[in-house]
Amino acid sequence: MTELKNDRLLRALRRQPVDRTPIWIMRQAGRYLPEYLKTRAEAGSFMNLCKTPELACEVTLQPLRRFDLDAAILFSDILTIPDAMGLGLYFEQGEGPRFENPVTDRKAIDRLPVPDPEQELRYVMDAVRTIRAELNGKVPLIGFTGSPWTLATYMVEGGSSKEFATIKGLMYTDPDALHSLLDKVTQAVTAYLNAQIAAGAQALMIFDTWGGALTPTAYRDFSLQYMRKIITGLDRGAGDERIPVVQFTKGGGLWLEDQITTGCDALGLDWTIDIGQARQRVGYQVALQGNMDPGVLYGSHDLIRREVQTILDAFGHHPGHVFNLGHGIHQHIDPDNVKFLVDTVHKYSATLLAGS
């Protein structure tokens, strides 16, 4: 493998000292970039973009050509797995993702296959291989998945949801059936992430987008438990060669102490928590990733600078911080503000860390 020229992300995730705080941005390859919209239009559909490795590679690399980012993240969708399990993913204009065949009962759960990542999801692994080759060691490549709970919400609801009425109905009337579903999704996710590692992913992220819809007890039973199983099941090496895992439960700021028990290397934080308080609560057991409100990027350079400084100061002179937004970048953000953000994080953190 080519030598990695910028290992700040991996060092920060391992809580090793860095000369400046690494930064990447959730949804950095996305609709706020005109070149993304162009490639997306050429692909014809979002799923075609995901399923064509050369195009997925192209949009993965686009933000790195504009901004001095410290990581690339595989361009794909968390719902590739349920799609490969036969649920029939499609996107309705303005409606978000939908499934043709949602999972509604025990029988449907029992029938679900566990896909072979190098078969049904080969297009993802091909994208990982293509991106790794194209990156040529510039920055590390992050692979990712949705958490089993989060994937299950879409699989049971048939799409996005506000109240999670159907899956909560299942959870509170037939928890065993839901556990069967989560077990199966966990097997699929574990194989999927191991295949991403084999194909070249150098760090992994688990997006638990909807874990925050649960009670503290249900979060441990129906989300956290399965993220722990995934992390335990990864073939990710040891020591400084170990592939780090970032675990991100949106809306999970009350449960940090529980979250760090899974064996993850870092927690993703949304913007509702003060990152300094989060660090105090988890100590040095994991790194932290986050956590600027994506809305700040609507603001002036002055405002962005102040918010960056506030977050870097709150985290303080410690190893183990990866700068990011607290959730995906919005569609109508000016790319110039993203450039300013990336450069400001680098510049200010370099001063801060040099003084420590």
Active-site residue list: 27, 31, 40, 77, 154
Q: How far is the CB of 254 from a copy of itself (least distance, A)?
A: 5
Stretch that binds a copy of itself, among 135-143, 145-153, 163-171, 348-356 (CB under 8 A): 163-171
Residue-wise over 143-179: b if at least 16 C-beta within 10 A, else e?
bbbbbbbbbbbbbbbbbebeebebbbebbeeeeebbb
- The verdict on 178 binding a copy of itself (CB under 8 A) reads no
- The verdict on 91 binding a copy of itself (CB under 8 A) reads no
Q: What angle is formed at CA 128 by the lines to CA 123 and CA 134, rounded to 5 degrees?
A: 120
> Which residues ranging from 267 to 286 are in contact with a copy of itself (CB under 8 A)?
271-274
- 328: buried, middle or exposed (CB in 10 Å: 19+, 13-18, 0-12)? middle
Give the integer Cα–Cα distance in Å for 250 and 268: 8
Residues 189-228 as x/- pattern, contact with a copy of itself by CB under 8 A: -----------------------x-xxxxx----------
- The verdict on 300 binding a copy of itself (CB under 8 A) reads yes
Stretch that binds a copy of itself, among 144-152, 201-209, 249-257, 338-346 (CB under 8 A): 249-257
Q: How far is the CB of 341 from a copy of itself (least distance, A)?
A: 13
Please state, as a whole number, how many other Cβ atoms lie within 10 Å of the Cβ of residue 325.
27
Give the integer Cα–Cα distance in Å for 322 and 314: 13
- The verdict on 46 binding a copy of itself (CB under 8 A) reads no
> Which residues ranging from 306 to 345 are in contact with a copy of itself (CB under 8 A)?
310, 330-332
Q: How far is the CB of 343 from a copy of itself (least distance, A)?
A: 19
Binding site for a copy of itself (CB under 8 A): 163-165, 168-169, 171-173, 212, 214-218, 251, 253-254, 271-274, 293-296, 298-300, 303, 310, 330-332
